[in-house]
Structure 1
Amino acid sequence: MLTTRLDTARIRAARTVIDPVFLDTPCYRCDALEPVLACAVGIKLETANPVRCFKGRGTEVIADALGSGAVVCASAGNLGQALAWSGRRRGLDVTVVAARSAPVAKLDRIRALGARLELVDGDFERAREQAADIARHHDIRLVEDSLDLETCEGAATIGLELVEQAPSADVVLIALGGGAMATGVGHVLKALAPGVEVICVQPLGAPAMTLSWRQRRVVTTESAETIADGVAGRFPIPEVLDDLLQVADDAVLAREESITTGMRLLLDHAGLVVEPSAALGVAAVLEDRERFAGRHVVTIICGSNVDPDTHRRWTSR
């Protein structure tokens, strides 16, 4: 029996409060990729929206419930943009804490969307600590990605769409960072399409959640060294790991070379400019072609917030 913090009825209800601009995203067979990857490739495209990533699904649920007031979050970039967008629509006072080393394109977009941006030295975990301090000091809502159910159940609406859009899917590949998308989509698939294999993919240089899933306990790492900044956490959240253990069939790691090759393949064969996290599904196929050969594999393209010059440098190698 499926026992996670998530609830399928609440996930269905989330669709009623999420702005339609984030819903019913394209899901299609990418024939051009199939000869290269030796499997049937489905793309679920979560980048054709105002924040160019899936995070708006969750922040819409949060902002709708808050209605007014102030809110703060830590972000590697995408959650901050999404919360700024959802908050601006509803008149919320939004503060985003990010590492000074976060991609400039993401930081600029957070500012452009009207959020207060506070930069800290260190990595995402330091930003998370600072956001918690701000929330306590000012007595405002702290949004914690993946821990807050709204972020998971908002992301889970992707799963509702996949069940209808890709009924012949054998495998769904999901980028794994904090775990909101993996636990959300995974919950829906296990509840409504239990025959679909749910595989989470994380960079080899930032493996904390994958190691935790494999050992069935929280495993932290000293560092997170990867170009996939959106999934580069070091301290898995215990409650999220508990959910992930219920819904993921496997968790695999991908090398940096496979990630950049995946980005290049998505550009060359699908016309998609994606950030590294969004190429993790393709990277997983490249790492283990035999496992996926001849199967119908759907990968969620979760974000496209990447600096053009940096993207060119990565994909021209």
Structure 2
Amino acid sequence: MPPAEPGTRLDLGRIRAARAVIDPRFLDTPLYECDALGQRLGCTVSVKLETANPVRSFKARGTELVTSLLADQGRPEVVCASAGNLGQALAWSGRRRGLGVTVVAARRAPAVKLDRIRALGAELELVAGDFDQARERAAELARQRGVRLVEDSLDLETCEGAATIGLELAAGTPAFDTVLIALGGGAMATGVGHVMKTLLPEVEVICVQPHGAPAMTRSWHAREVVTTDTTDTIADGVAGRRPIPAVLADLLAVADDAVLVEEASIVTGLRLLLEHAGLVAEPSAALGVAAVLEDPDRFAGRHVVTVVCGGNVDLGPYRRWVGL
């Protein structure tokens, strides 16, 4: 019998089919055991590296699906809100297929991400406030123009594109018992989690979020949507305040735990990834390492995979964080 899938909106058949749509440059990313990092953290650590691609994040796995669908439908334009990485990925995928792309982002988003969105030919609109204000403006623009609004984590393409990471983990070696996933809107956590609980149900799926942006983690523990008024974290890629109910329902079906980490641990995680793995990572990508740093006894003797999900950093802040 085929494996039983958890009760989410996602479908393993569609996830497998997605690999034929996503540009190969975003597939089969490196997965390797990093001895030096493991020795420092006191457990076996493997890295799933999602920065070795044209947009330096995992987001294009989802935007490739979205733009392929829109191109097939003859729809010429698309809008999204982004903390930076989704916008960059949508701009890349849209340009590849001749689609007009508008990205709405917060003015305070990292300049390197905003500059790259512009360089890829997207129209960029900046708003005061944070990601949730950008999401409201993007929805308004989509209504005014009558075009597709891409909503990260709500749209299944973003989740099932990210879920292809899980297929690669399940097919990789050596065996591992824990996967640590950055938790923001939930696309990667629900996608990878769905595949793990279908193909490798014995693997513990742990989602990690900063204390300064805890809405989805609090919601997971409460089993209902919990919003926050503000966010305060250097991990801009996961700094949402308003979880989406459908995404939370998916997360509840696949995540074994959701934990919060301190900013100091994120900064240390960035430094360890650079010093012991030679990786320039953005703060969201260091959340898995931060989780091990804060609870070493939990992970001692285990083999964890941490997904390094993005590497778009403003060099000024990054140098301060890692002490360069």
* TM-score of the pair, normalised by structure 2: 0.97
Aligned to 1:202: 209
Partners of 1:120 and 1:210 in 2: CA distance: 26
SS of equivalent residue, structure 2 residue 217 = helix
Partners of 1:110 and 1:34 in 2: CA distance: 35
Alignment of 1:9-24 (within 5 A): 9-24=13-28
Say whether 1:177 aligns with 2:184: yes
Alignment of 1:81-160 (within 5 A): 81-160=88-167
Partners of 1:271 and 1:91 in 2: CA distance: 36
Partners of 1:71 and 1:212 in 2: CA distance: 30
Say whether 1:35 aligns with 2:39: yes
Say whether 1:270 aligns with 2:277: yes
For 2:285, the aligned partner's letter is A
Please state how far the C-alpha of 1:166 moved relative to its aligned partner: 3.6
Give the number of aligned pairs: 317
Structure 1: which 4+ aligned runs deviate by more than 6 Å? none
RMSD: 0.8
1:48 aligned residue (49, 52, 57): 52
What is the CA deviation profile of residues 113-166 of structure 1, one whole-angstrom value per residue up to 9, with x for unaligned ones? Answer: 000000000000000000000000110000000000000000000000000114
Partners of 2:203 and 2:38 in 1: CA distance: 19
For 1:300, the aligned partner's letter is V
Please state how far the C-alpha of 1:309 moved relative to its aligned partner: 1.9
SS of equivalent residue, structure 1 residue 51 = coil
In structure 1, list runs of 5 or more residues that go unmatched: none
What is the CA deviation profile of residues 206-250 of structure 1, one whole-angstrom value per residue up to 9, with x for unaligned ones? Answer: 000000000000000011100000000000000000000000000
Partners of 2:227 and 2:200 in 1: CA distance: 32
Alignment of 1:285-296 (within 5 A): 285-296=292-303
* TM-score of the pair, normalised by structure 1: 0.99
Partners of 1:72 and 1:166 in 2: CA distance: 38
Alignment of 1:170-249 (within 5 A): 170-249=177-256
For 2:39, the aligned partner's letter is P
Aligned to 2:317: 310
SS of equivalent residue, structure 1 residue 49 = coil
SS of equivalent residue, structure 1 residue 183 = helix
For 1:51, the aligned partner's letter is V
Say whether 1:283 aligns with 2:290: yes
Please state how far the C-alpha of 1:34 moved relative to its aligned partner: 1.5
Please state how far the C-alpha of 1:167 moved relative to its aligned partner: 4.8
Aligned to 2:63: 59
Please state how far the C-alpha of 1:7 moved relative to its aligned partner: 0.2
Partners of 2:316 and 2:49 in 1: CA distance: 22
For 1:110, the aligned partner's letter is I
Partners of 2:173 and 2:234 in 1: CA distance: 30
Partners of 1:83 and 1:197 in 2: CA distance: 31
Partners of 2:16 and 2:307 in 1: CA distance: 20
In structure 2, list runs of 5 or more residues that go unmatched: none
Partners of 1:101 and 1:110 in 2: CA distance: 14
